[in-house]
Amino acid sequence: MENNCRILNRIVEINIANVKYADIELSGNTCFVGTNNFGKTSLQRAILFFYSANSRGLGISASQKPFEEHYFRYENSYLIYEIATEDKSFFVMAYRHNKLVFRFVDAPYNPDFFFTANDEAMKIKEIIANFEKRGIYISNQVDTFERYRNVIYGTETDKQLSKFYLLKGNEKYQNIPKSITNVFLSSKSSVDSRFIKDFIANSLTSESSSIKLEQVERQLRQFNEKYTDIETYLKKESQQLIEMIDKKYDQVHMLKGAQMEMADKLGSSLRFAETQNESIRDASKKKEEELDKLTEEHDTLKENIESKQNDIREEIGYYDRTIRDANKKLKAYKEQNVEEALEKNQEREKLQVELNIARREYESLTSNVASIEMKYSSLIEQLRNDKTAYINKINSRTSEIFNHYNELQLLQKNEYNKRDGELKQKRDENFSEVNAEVTAKQIEFNELKSEEKVIRTTRFYEQEIKDLESELAELRAVSYKNKSERAIKQNMVQTLQREWEALEVKLKTSLSNRVNQTNNEIIKIKNEIKEIETKLNVQHDAFYGFLEKNVKNWHNNIGKVVNEKLLFRTDITPEMKQEAADTLYGISLNLETVEVVSKSIEEYQFEKNERTAQIRDLEESLNVFQTANNEEKMLAADKFGKQLGEMKEDVKVLTYSLELADKREHKLGSELEEWRSKAGIEVEQSLTGNRQRLNIIEEELAILNKKKNNLLSDFDNQFNKLKVYNEERLAELKERQETEISELEVEKKNQVKDYEDKEDQLSKEKETNFKSKGVDAKQLKGVETRMKEIQEALKEIEQYAQIVSDYLKDKREIFDKMPDFIQKKEEFVKSNNDLTTQIEEATRKFNTKRMELNKQKRAFDEELIDFNNGINFYSNNFRETPVYTKYSDIIERAEAKRTNYNIMDLCTQLLKNDSHFNEEYGAFQRYVNEFAGKFKLDNHFNFVIRNDASQGEYERFAQNLRSFINENKIELSIAETATQIGLVTDSIATKVKELSGQKDKIQHIITLIAEDFKKAEFEESKLIEFIKIRLEESDNKVYRLLKRVQEFREENGLVYNEGLFNTDFATGQKREISGRAVKLLDQLSSAIKEQEQEEIRLQDLFELKFNIKEGMNETGWTHKIDSIGSTGTDILVKAIIYITLLHVFIKESSHRSSSDFKVHCIIDEVGQISAHYLRELLRFAKNRNIMMINGLPNKSGLESHYKYTYQFRREENNNVRIFPSIVTEVEA
């Protein structure tokens, strides 16, 4: 055993694995020789277990038995480790007592402690009793690996155990067992920088000191799922779908309610139709009988009145003809100048008197020449008589001709009058027939006109219209009340909404203020931490580090008087001067009463940790505040949301009721309009029938008038033809008459002229004689002339005597009675008009009553037809449909009552509505499916609908969605997700910070390794010229993103999530920050999936590169060291790097005052290394207080370079025997 040094001196195996007993000394370089599967590795693991006390970190694969089961098979299985110290030895034994435990014994190992006289290993109780009997201290059971390590590495605070240490470790002592383990577990002959990174990292961290990406990915996934859910929910198309779902749900609900209401009406109508069928048929029959009776009474009355009218019409016709004939005669007399004839007839007597006077005057004048007068008078008279006789003869002949032709004319006129009369009679007969038809049609026309007036004043469906108007008035009153109630509810909703919004603003403001306050405090503490970290980072190169390395207990003297800033200056170049020891510039000071102002590294570290803890406390407090804030929001959401939900639902119900009422009002309005329209149509139909009959009668009247006109025209033509013929015949007779008379007149004129000439001659002779006798001839002539004129006038008057006589007769008999005729005619016309009015009034009343009865009968008939058609349609077309199945309960349970709905219409409407309902419900389902399809099945909103979901499930989905909206649960989800992103980023940042906090240690370790490589005596050996190492930034994409998240967290503080979603509260800056956070987390999630890495360990935080030169070979800066030279060279370089790493970690992890210890470096196979290289390796390790434990497959001469060599052999019973090999040691 070497002096003044602590070292694992030996290992003893008692019933360990296949080894019954083995005592192995380890105080120098040790070599194990044996082929594979002989137990070399098992022994090396047992040695490693001494350093690591970690049964799961020994390189045992999962397929092998665990360390405890393989090594400690028996209750008397023991692993004993003897540790040599500066003055004596002690040992620690490990055994299995339900689990692996340790006990420390304050004595060197002695087999007698464990074996009986028969060489049987004792049980633990016997061993403990043996120690107590011998008075040897044995510790209590140490039952945790951690406490065991604390004891071995000198950090145990228990005074009884604190002396059992191998070395005095500092707070980083765990790096020592980790480093030894990592060296042992290395298997590659080449050195990969990744392994070195693993080595360094595993030595600096525990298994838990890594970022489990599965956990991070789960957090990211959970956040991303929530974020995606919310983002999906907030999208415009999703909001449109929500609106459509809500709208369609109301429509579906309304349609469903309408269908149920209609089904109830159908059932009521069916029951009513079934119970009222016979009574309606009887009522219809009764109305028909009333109609027949009414028609019979009206026809009887009409016949009586028409009979009276016929008699009156005959009287009117008689007087009408009499008046017409009188007017014709009067017209004919006027044409014959009857008035002139009457005047002249009145002058006849006067002319006769004048003629007599003239005659007497003439006789008086001729009294004295009477003979002459007689003579000449006789002659003249004779001549005149002859003339007169001749004239008479001629006149007679003229008269005969005149009379003959007059008779012919009269015959013609008689024939004309006869034929004219016949035509007139025929015309009158035809006209009478036509007029009778016209009169009948006119009466019928007037009756229809009267009926039209009745129709226009009749109110059809008056009761139905009145009922609908009453229902509409009630519905409008209820709607007005509901509108008022809805307005009140809406105001309450707005009030609650404002209260909620005000509370949310208050909570958000409170949270924002707390966040700002916390972030300010954190920034302040971080600055303090930064100052401490700056000191810790520079302390190795500063005055502080110099004092730590060179001045023992400097805190008790220099630390009391040196300014703290000065301690961490790196530019003052301190040097040790022996003569100034314990003085201040040569001045000795008593500093016992002076307070220490300097702090140890541990104190700085403690302050840093304390401030870090303060930050965590602040952040935790903020998280608690934020959680409480969110809980308040949730309570507010629960309180206000439920109230608002209930009120909104009430508003919805009222709105729905109003919509239904509006639709009902619209429907009732439509029905009212339909009834009015129906009434109008009824009027129009009645009027149309009336008009049709009027039109027919008008057409018939037109036809009759046309017929009448045609008859008139035809008769006029006949009359004209007859008249023309008569006139032509009369003209012919007149012409012949005039011709013959004219011939006679010429003859008469000539002869009369002869007579007149003779008379003139006689008159002249007479005048001559009278003159001779003294008679005044001139006077006489005047008298004669006057007599002649009077005679001519009397002659002319005589021509009109017959006309005057006829006129006076007709005047007396006809013309004077005309006013009486006219008055009587008018009386008869008035009587006829009164009868017409009477029949029209009777007809109007009849039509009114008939129409009412027809309407009632038609209503009964139509209702009966509707009932029967409805029942048939229901039975044949509706009963077997799915719609009936759906609403059969409602239909069958309905009470019998009259409705305003037709059964067939109700069935058709139900079927139609069901089709519409299915269409709307299909749209509703599509919207729900489309909306739910936007979310994953496991979305946190639970917006899930199964493919085979029932109608109820779809409706519950819509109801839950409505509740979700009413209770504003999206805001809670946003708040939770916003909190979650803060927690996720905080968790990631914390983990990254914890992990990356080791990066300074890595840099420090790499620096030490590089310095150790420089100190190696490569120049002297000439085997290796140099080994260089340097640190580079990590190229691990996941870590770099994790780091960015941590930097983001540091930059923006704990809470920056108010802008996570585009809400009104969020500012643009907050939205931008939150957007960056989401993008970062999304990139990180993608990178984790892409990289397929389970965890981020310390070794992922950096990259290592080596540059090695051996002879003429230089690798350049590379990640992997292989093929530097020979295989032996590669093994040597690998071992040198491992030893350097181990040396550095031991140096860094042990207390600076602890330098009197050695540890082992366990490298299994070195069989391919040359003796020369092996010597270099052992010397390199020795210079660093490291003992080598190596394995060889067989003896090759290399074993001679080790202090101890042990061989392994398998016995027949399969046990392994380990025994020392006698070799000549070349170098120990």
pLDDT bin (cut points 50, 70, 90) of residue 1228 is very low
- The radius of gyration of the chain from alpha carbons, rounded to an integer in Å, stands at 75
Q: Quick one: DSSP state of residue 1072?
A: H
Distance between CA atoms of residues 1029 and 1144, nearest Å:
14
- Measured CA to CA in angstroms, residue 435 lies from 340, 593, 827, 1053 at distances of 41, 158, 21, 115
For residue 210, the enclosing domain spans 191-235+934-1121
In this structure, are 161 and 201 located in the same domain? no
pLDDT of 1225 > 70? The answer is: no
pLDDT of 627 > 80? The answer is: no
In this structure, are 1117 and 1168 located in the same domain? no
Q: Is residue 988 part of a domain?
A: yes
Q: Side-chain half-sphere of 960: how many Cα atoms within 13 Å?
A: 13
In this structure, are 138 and 19 located in the same domain? yes
In this structure, are 1209 and 1190 located in the same domain? yes
- Give the per-residue SS3 of 517-549: HHHHHHHHHHHHHHHHHHHHHHCCCCHHHHHHH
- Measured CA to CA in angstroms, residue 808 lies from 239, 323, 333, 799, 1078 at distances of 114, 18, 11, 16, 135
Q: Is residue 156 part of a domain?
A: yes
Instruction: Kindly state the percentage of the chain with pLDDT values over 90.
Output: 10
**Residue 144: its pLDDT value, please?**
92
**Residue 581: its pLDDT value, please?**
55
Distance between CA atoms of residues 56 and 62, nearest Å:
10
Q: Which residues of 209-229 are buried (b: 16+ CB within 10 A; e: fewer)?
A: bbbebeebbebbeebbbbbbb
pLDDT bin (cut points 50, 70, 90) of residue 1 is very low
Distance between CA atoms of residues 32 and 1206, nearest Å:
5
Alpha helices in 776-880 (DSSP H): 777-799, 801-813, 818-873
Q: Which residues of 265-300 are buried (b: 16+ CB within 10 A; e: fewer)?
A: bbbbbbbbbeebeeebeebbeebeebbeebeeebee
Across residues 58-81, what is the average pLDDT?
Answer: 91
CB 71 within 8 A of CB 16: yes
Q: pTM, whole model, 2 decimals?
A: 0.55
In this structure, are 114 and 199 located in the same domain? no
Least confident window among 186-190, 550-554, 1103-1107: 186-190
Q: Is residue 850 part of a domain?
A: no
In this structure, are 954 and 1101 located in the same domain? yes
Q: Is residue 979 part of a domain?
A: yes
Taken in order 1035, 1036, 1037, 1041, is the CA torsion positive or negative? negative
Across residues 970-999, what is the average pLDDT?
Answer: 79
- Measured CA to CA in angstroms, residue 8 lies from 26, 113, 164 at distances of 6, 19, 12
Across residues 561-566, what is the average pLDDT?
Answer: 75
Q: Is residue 249 part of a domain?
A: no
CB 1210 within 8 A of CB 38: yes
In this structure, are 938 and 1049 located in the same domain? yes
Q: What average pLDDT does the structure give for the chain?
A: 80
Strand partners, 1210: 1216
Taken in order 99, 187, 166, 997, is the CA torsion positive or negative? negative
Q: Is residue 246 part of a domain?
A: no
Higher pLDDT, 57 or 587: 57
Distance between CA atoms of residues 95 and 102, nearest Å:
7
Q: Residue 856's Cα: distance from chain center in Å? A: 52
- Give the per-residue SS3 of 378-426: HHHHHHHHHHHHHHHHHHHHHHHHHHHHHHHHHHHHHHHHHHHHHHHHH
pLDDT bin (cut points 50, 70, 90) of residue 656 is confident
Query: Into how many domains does the chain fold?
Result: 2
Q: Is residue 959 part of a domain?
A: yes
Distance between CA atoms of residues 943 and 940, nearest Å:
8
Q: Is residue 1057 part of a domain?
A: yes
Dihedral angle of Cα 925, 928, 934, 938, to the nearest 10 degrees: -110
**Residue 580: its pLDDT value, please?**
55
Distance between CA atoms of residues 1067 and 1073, nearest Å:
10
Tokens of 490: 């809406």
**Residue 135: its pLDDT value, please?**
93
* Domain containing residue 27: CATH number: 3.40.50
In this structure, are 78 and 206 located in the same domain? no
In this structure, are 1211 and 1110 located in the same domain? no
Interacting residues of 943 by C-beta distance below 8 A, sequence separation 6+? 229, 931, 932, 935, 957, 961
pLDDT tens sequence across 536-560: 776 667 777 777 767 777 777 777 7
In this structure, are 1043 and 1074 located in the same domain? yes
Q: Which of 1121, 1137, 1163 is the last residue of a domain?
A: 1121
Q: Among candidates 860, 870, 874, which has minimal Cα distance to 279? A: 860
The per-residue DSSP string of 853-915 comes to HHHHHHHHHHHHHHHHHHHHHIIIIITTSHHHHHHHHHHHHPPP---SS-HHHHHHHHHHHHH
In this structure, are 982 and 1013 located in the same domain? yes
CB 1169 within 8 A of CB 1198: yes
pLDDT tens sequence across 837-896: 888 888 878 887 887 888 777 777 877 787 788 888 888 888 888 888 888 888 888 888
Interacting residues of 958 by C-beta distance below 8 A, sequence separation 6+? 245, 246, 249, 924, 928
Interacting residues of 1058 by C-beta distance below 8 A, sequence separation 6+? 508, 512, 978, 1065, 1066, 1067, 1070, 1074
pLDDT of 429 > 60? The answer is: yes
Strand partners, 11: 24, 81
**Residue 402: its pLDDT value, please?**
67
Q: Which residues of 510-525 are buried (b: 16+ CB within 10 A; e: fewer)?
A: ebeebbeebbeebeeb
CB atoms within 10 A of CB 1090: 10
Q: Which of 1121, 1140, 1166 is the last residue of a domain?
A: 1121
The most confident of the ranges 27-31, 453-457, 628-632, 997-1001 is 27-31
In this structure, are 177 and 196 located in the same domain? no
